[in-house]
Amino acid sequence: MEVFNLLKTIIQERRSIKKFNGKSVALSDITAVLEDAAWAPNHGNREPWRFVVAAEKGLEAIRTTIKECTVPKWNMLAPEELEQKTAGFKLPGAFVFVIVPEDLRQKERLEDFSAASALIQNAQLLAWEKGIGTCWKTPAWIDAPKFRQALGVKPGERILAMLQFGYYDELPKAKERTPIEEKITYFG
């Protein structure tokens, strides 16, 4: 019962962090989180994921890549507007891009997507327990050909998520959840 209550608490207290404080996250912490998160259930033990990790020395390079590859019109903005648009990429302490195969078979593609989603949730919970906040993002530009090429995403693969990792000074308030009874239809 103790383990159940601990898991329940971790699940309920985890928050998506959108305001990071700029402190770098150690590459070893990201690797440890991903190593344990990879125990997510996945059909046939296909482990349908791979990662591009930008932490420590890779942080500045990924920020530059995001800026250069994703939104060319940003280069036409005034310096203060450009600063405002790119501010959100300067504060996370690490980035992890989760890449999955796009299996031509629908069943396998959905299984792989679901397994990678479970891995992402595991990573968020494990990071939370280490005092590291996360935010799962899927900006439209992750599918931009220039960005995919910069990350080495191959044909037949998809960037499923951009996970931002980092430290924070302020914990967001919990948002109310719909009572589960409103989401359940009992069969029979």
What is the distance between the alpha carbons of residues 81 and 85, in angstroms, rounded to a whole number? 6
The string of pLDDT tens digits covering residues 18-41 is 999 999 999 999 999 999 999 999
Q: Which of 139, 18, 168 is nearest to 87 (CA)?
A: 18
The model's pTM: 0.89
What is the distance between the alpha carbons of residues 182 and 146, in angstroms, rounded to a whole number? 44
What average pLDDT does the chain have?
91
For 44-77, the DSSP string reads: GG----EEEEEETTHHHHHHHHHHHHH-GGGGGS
- For the cut 80, the answer to whether the pLDDT of residue 70 exceeds it is no
Which residue range forms the structural domain that includes residue 166? 14-172
CATH of the domain at 24: 3.40.109.10
* Distant-in-sequence, close-in-space partners of 17: CB < 8 Å, separation ≥ 6: 133, 134, 135, 164, 166, 168, 172
- For the cut 70, the answer to whether the pLDDT of residue 150 exceeds it is yes
* Distant-in-sequence, close-in-space partners of 161: CB < 8 Å, separation ≥ 6: 97, 98, 116, 120, 136, 137, 138
- For the cut 70, the answer to whether the pLDDT of residue 166 exceeds it is yes
Three-state DSSP at 111 gives helix
Question: What pLDDT band is residue 67 in, cutting at 50, 70 and 90?
Answer: confident
2 in a structural domain: no
**For range 153-180, the mean pLDDT:** 95
**For range 130-144, the mean pLDDT:** 92
**For range 151-166, the mean pLDDT:** 97
- For the cut 80, the answer to whether the pLDDT of residue 82 exceeds it is no
**Model pLDDT, residue 68:** 80
* Of 81 and 92, the one with more pLDDT: 92
9 in a structural domain: no
CB 38 within 8 A of CB 135: no
Number of structural domains in the chain: 1
**Model pLDDT, residue 77:** 67
187 in a structural domain: no
- For the cut 70, the answer to whether the pLDDT of residue 87 exceeds it is no
57 in a structural domain: yes
148 in a structural domain: yes
Burial of 142 (0-12, 13-18, 19+ CB in 10 A): buried
Q: Which residue has the tokens 């959905």?
A: 110
What is the distance between the alpha carbons of residues 1 and 147, in angstroms, rounded to a whole number? 46
139 in a structural domain: yes
